[in-house]
Amino acid sequence: MNISVKELPEYEVAYIRHIGSYLDTHHAWSKLGKWAEQNNLFPTNQYFIGISLDDPSMVDEFACRYDACVTIPIDFNKEDQSEVQFKKLSGGVYALYTFYDTIDKFAITYQSLFGQWLPNSEYDADDRPCLEFCMNNPMEDPEGKCKVDLYIPIKKRK
């Protein structure tokens, strides 16, 4: 696996929460995309980040929480924005893996990173969530694949 270690800054995001199967997050993305367009937040200027908050091997599939996020500018007016919620994502050290395949194979990537790469690295996972930077729109990809820069929060092993 081709993994690099990167430092990310803190990001402020607007987000829409999805509860249910991670394979159905397109509903949240659709709503967020419409909201982002209405607020002039476009992929060339902002990051679109997915956050899977639960481990589906530990939480019922239909209770899994997922946040579809878009970064917002520092001067963004958060007043009268009832369609979305806001939060800050912690910066820090992350392991970066670039994924390019169909979304149904994404869970295997998580299993490989946490089950093989991480135990054999000099790092441990910490308690920040993984960040899934969406680098394309799978609906526009000729093969229906998604390109995701997956950032796993890490800390040096003691």
- For residue 118, the model assigns a pLDDT of 96
Cα distance between residue 149 and residue 32, in whole Å: 19
User: pTM to 2 decimals?
Assistant: 0.93
What pLDDT score was predicted for residue 41? 94
For 51, other C-beta atoms within 10 Å of its C-beta total 19
**106: alpha, beta or left, given left = phi > 0 and alpha = psi -120 to 50?**
alpha
Residue 3 CA to residue 15 CA, distance in Å, equals 27
Instruction: Read off the amino acid at residue 11.
Output: Y
The DSSP code sequence of 5-70 is EEEE--EEEEEEEEES-GGGTHHHHHHHHHHHHHTT--TTTS-EEEEE-S-TTTS-GGG-EEEEEE
Residue-wise pLDDT for 114-149, tens only, equals 999 999 999 999 999 999 999 998 889 999 999 999
User: For 42-101, what is each residue's pLDDT tens digit?
Assistant: 888 899 999 999 988 899 999 999 999 999 999 999 998 999 999 999 999 999 999 999
Domains of the chain: 4-156 (3.20.80.10)
pLDDT bin (cut points 50, 70, 90) of residue 35 is very high
